[in-house]
Structure 1
Amino acid sequence: MQLQALPAFADNYIWMLRDDAGRALIVDPGDAEPVLAAVSDGLEPVGILLTHHHDDHIGGVVALRQRWPGLPVLAPADDRIAITSRRVGDGDRVRIANWEFAVIAVPGHTVSHLAFHAADVGGHGLLFSGDTLFSLGCGRLFEGTPAQMLASLDRLAALPGDTRLCCGHEYTLSNAAFARVVEPDNPALLRRIEEAQAMRNAGQPTLPSTIAVERETNPFLRVDAPGVRAAVESQAGQAGSDRVATFAALRRWKDGFRA
């Protein structure tokens, strides 16, 4: 079993999961070319998972379906995703080849956003989170509310700690600049930043991360931590009325943040 992050555009990742039989599952192919190059050694695509409707995550589907007309495409129930063979939603279980995923609704970045979680791939969990949960960050709220996004992040944070986090963009170091301002004395965060910088210096992805690492380092999963609450209150000039208000203020702070 092999998991591969295929770079696309400026900072996207298309995820490819392959087995020993030469079958490949593709996640969020915004561009067909990296996929076509990756399977040129004889891999057989057996399915596509789509997390949300943004073009940098679905733009390559048409070309891939032209190459493999019967290729299953599993996607949210959203009319903005025109090419699909099966609509899926929260609580569904989907099986492609030997891989089985639970579908988790994670509205916030978009209202129909989904994540796909496999409980056991190579001995541990695997999460395709799209643009909901990033390493050291979370997606912008283009369509959903802070309450929706926080609830979505809470669901993902509750997954087993060894679950590998496969998100849609290489944002770790840019997110790290903000996270370090929020929690400058978090030793786990400082270790993660050092490791991520070394990975990028070596030309490697900083992903996958793990849910356990994100619980320790990602400010958007740590809105209940005293240090995060204090930083948000200091920035906003007032205490948050509840954890949703704290999250909303944290997200606004990040939206306007410049390193």
Structure 2
Amino acid sequence: MKAIIIEDELPSARRLERLLQDFEIEIIYKLNAVKSSVLWFQKNEHPDIIFLDVQLSDGLCFEIFKQVKITSKIIFTTAFSNYSIKAFDYNSISYLLKPIDKEKLEEAIKKAKEVYQKETDLEQFKKLISNYKIEDYKNSFTVKVGKKIKILKIDEVACFYSYENATYLKTKEGNYIINNSLTNLEYDLNPKYFFRVNRTFIVHINAIKDIITYSNSRLKLVLQSYSDSEIILSRERVKDFKSWID
């Protein structure tokens, strides 16, 4: 199958392209905006499938549909958990929440191949997304310090980590317990600045002091404000990490 990726975040586009290598899908082009996508569709034969980010650099992806009739199957992708689309079931719509899981990707591809996408479901999906207020990624966290509540700006955070069934936020000043899981945090944090290095850590790019080669093709990260334990980047995440820091 031939496909194009429409995604305004380069690391996300690269990761998706790597995942698709295992599914015999040929990526013929990559785009990152509504305007450039419309021009491309007007001049080129439409592919079998489109991987389409909901929010692009110059607007929601649905603006593309207003200007050109798309004949390809569509798999929507979104990093915005506040859309709450997991609570909705569209029999003919395929969508993926970022960061994209390989098994979910396989299911979406299979569904796109087998199910006819109905115009009514596409319109309902558009209304659902458009009616939700698009919020930015989290820019602060509130933590409890004794009897006080403290507000921490996202730029102060060196990393998030899990320890003994609790999630911690680390700054230069200390460690704070937060009421969230690392999995949920992945959706709330801007992927331009935060990366899930393994099951235990999410790190801020500005907090990385050193990157050291480690055994079995892994990497060891040294942070400016964290030294309680070693942070080892799993071998499976090395390629994505290198793309992220480029």
Task: Say yes or no: TM over 0.5.
Answer: no
TM-score, with structure 2 as normaliser: 0.32
More strand by share: 2
TM-score, with structure 1 as normaliser: 0.31
